[in-house]
Amino acid sequence: MSLHHPSSTEDIFDSSLNLEDTHYKEGYSEGYSSGLASGKNEGHEVGLKTGFEVGEELGFYRGCVDIWNAAIHIQPNCFSSRVQKSIRQMDELLKKYPVSEPENESVTDIMDSLRLKFRAICATLNVKLEYNGYPKASDVKNSGF
């Protein structure tokens, strides 16, 4: 029975290949961990920003509905029955919006319906209300304040 004794040249190449493979695996593991951590942080920041923007837009619509309902309460015939029905529908959409479930598939449909209903009410009332988000720094500089 003969034992195969690798030459010293084969040993050098084997250890070099193992070393390269070891460094590759370590690098991959470190990169994966680093990417996972930075991805979570980045996702958290994007989620906060998006959540704030959605909440702000919902708040704008809630404010409009509350003002319109207050006007109806003071003067019941200030808006046509069609506009009043649209305001009630918008109010219901706001109540249905799943604020605590941002991954709910209905959020996009409800937001689209809210925007459409809002534009229809504004067009019927012939008012130029629109939600543009909060002012940007460049808008504040040009606002005269």
Above 50 in pLDDT, residue 143? Answer: no
Distances (CA, A) of 39 to 36, 47, 129: 5, 12, 38
Domain boundaries, the chain: 14-134
**Per residue in 97-126, pLDDT tens?**
998 887 888 888 999 999 999 999 999 998
**Per residue in 4-18, pLDDT tens?**
555 555 666 666 667
Number of helical (H) and strand (E) elements in the chain, helices listed first:
4, 0
